[in-house]
Amino acid sequence: MQVSAVLAVDDIDLSDIAFWGRPWDEREGAFQTLRRERPIAFFEEPEIPEALSYVIPKGRGYYALTRYADIAHASRHPEIYQSGRGATSIVDMPEEMLDFFGSMINMDNPRHARLRRIVSAAFNPRMIKSIEDRIDFVANDVIDRVAPLGGCDFVVEVAARLPLAIICDMMGVAASDYDTVFNASNVILSSGDPEYVPEGTDPMVAFMTAAQQLNLLMVDLATYRRAHPTDDVTSALVNTNVDGENLTDTEVAAFFILLVVAGNETTRNAISHGLLALTEHPDQRALWQADPAEIAATGVDEIVRWGSPVIWMRRTVAEETVLGETELHEGDKVIMFYNSANRDEDVFDDPFIFDVRRAPNPHIGFGAAGPHFCLGAHLARQEIDVMFRRLFERLPDIESAGEPDRLLSPFINGIKHLDCRFSPVAAGR
């Protein structure tokens, strides 16, 4: 990839949605300029749409951390750089949202550790290994549906299907509810994109309605699992007792919303960025296809670095401190731009080259080391690995066709649609 430094440092405004509509190479050029010239730049907060200003007041601005070292430092010091104050979004979360979105990603210790302990067993490498067959089954099923067609919208028909089915499966959500979950998660992460929130609809109302749908679905399931436990994660959540306490239905539902939101779009986008990058870099694709087991071990992480599906997370400063040369004060917001850290020339050789054999690859696409490191990282890696293994085996000439239709969002590096083509084959393994 060639980066284009078309913006001078004073012309870069990360809070302007128009910035995120610029081509990818221009955005990368701007982050390269920030890393070099103003690595901890201050920005005013984005304008709040009028329809939302009654619930979300405009905040006092934020510092954009664009260098790897600063983000790693902030993540390692959660006592100073907190997640629970006002949330990990740029705006502070209004009270009415906390019931739905107040899960562990927006908490600090001791509550964070308590919740993470309950759920971490379900996501450890051993457990993820145990569902490998299921992941494989779903990946094959997804491919069966499109195999005779010779082409499809890769995002909607392929990339989105696997993570959704797996997370619903793990939680014990019925297949008949998948579409509800899929549509609701699109609305929640859409940043008001008109494809998901129709014009004329109050985005806040759409957002809260979607959250309410997921909440109701989960409260029903949690109630049922209390009486009829199985080996799914919901049963573990409702029946585990930590330090004498059980999770409330609201806590279980908020955790489910977090999983659906954190686990679906991200993995879907990683898989879509993967097909795009492998199509644009045929030499890398040839390496992967020649030796899937060997190359996936490094290639999957290169896809996550390259695509950086989660662009940033916020922390809020708890006490006076100094980061780099910047003095920070209590209540200051810092936004950790993972996409920028993942192209930091001080850490990565040739960061703008897509290299499926990159090693070491200390990318922080799953967050940097610290208590909030992505809970689903093993699962996501496994899903990406299995999806490409099966795609290359069953549709060996699959490639993306045409330009990706990108999500206009400062938060998720998303692809909404991506056509793909391949020689049609009959369904069945």
Q: Give the interface with ligand HEM as residue ranges (CB under 6 A).
A: 83, 88, 104-105, 116, 163, 167, 258-259, 262-263, 266-267, 270, 304, 309-310, 313, 338, 365-367, 372, 374-376, 379-380
**CB 116 to ligand HEM: min, Å:** 5
**CB 217 to ligand HEM: min, Å:** 16
Nearer to ligand HEM, 163 or 203 (CB): 163
Nearer to ligand HEM, 99 or 202 (CB): 99
Q: At what angle do helices 249-280 and 178-189 cross, to 10 degrees?
A: 80
- Which residue is listed with tokens 């917001």? 333
Distance, in Å, from the CA atom of 319 to the CA atom of 331, rounded to the nearest integer, reads 8
Distance, in Å, from the CA atom of 414 to the CA atom of 408, rounded to the nearest integer, reads 8
Nearer to ligand HEM, 33 or 103 (CB): 103
Tokens of 166: 């797996």
Coil, helix or strand for 40? Answer: strand
**CB 181 to ligand HEM: min, Å:** 12
**CB 182 to ligand HEM: min, Å:** 14
Contact status, residue 396 vs residue 385, Cβ threshold 8 Å? no
**CB 261 to ligand HEM: min, Å:** 9
Nearer to ligand HEM, 20 or 123 (CB): 123
Cα dihedral 9, 14, 19, 21 in deg (nearest 10): 150
Nearer to ligand HEM, 41 or 412 (CB): 412
**CB 372 to ligand HEM: min, Å:** 4
At 245, give phi and psi (nearest 5°).
-120, 145
Identity of residue 104: M
Distance, in Å, from the CA atom of 180 to the CA atom of 95, rounded to the nearest integer, reads 25
Cα end-to-end distance, the chain, whole Å: 37
**CB 288 to ligand HEM: min, Å:** 17
Helix (H), strand (E) at residue 43: strand 40-43
Work out the number of other CB atoms within 10 angstroms of the CB of residue 315. Answer: 27
Nearer to ligand HEM, 33 or 344 (CB): 344
Nearer to ligand HEM, 204 or 262 (CB): 262
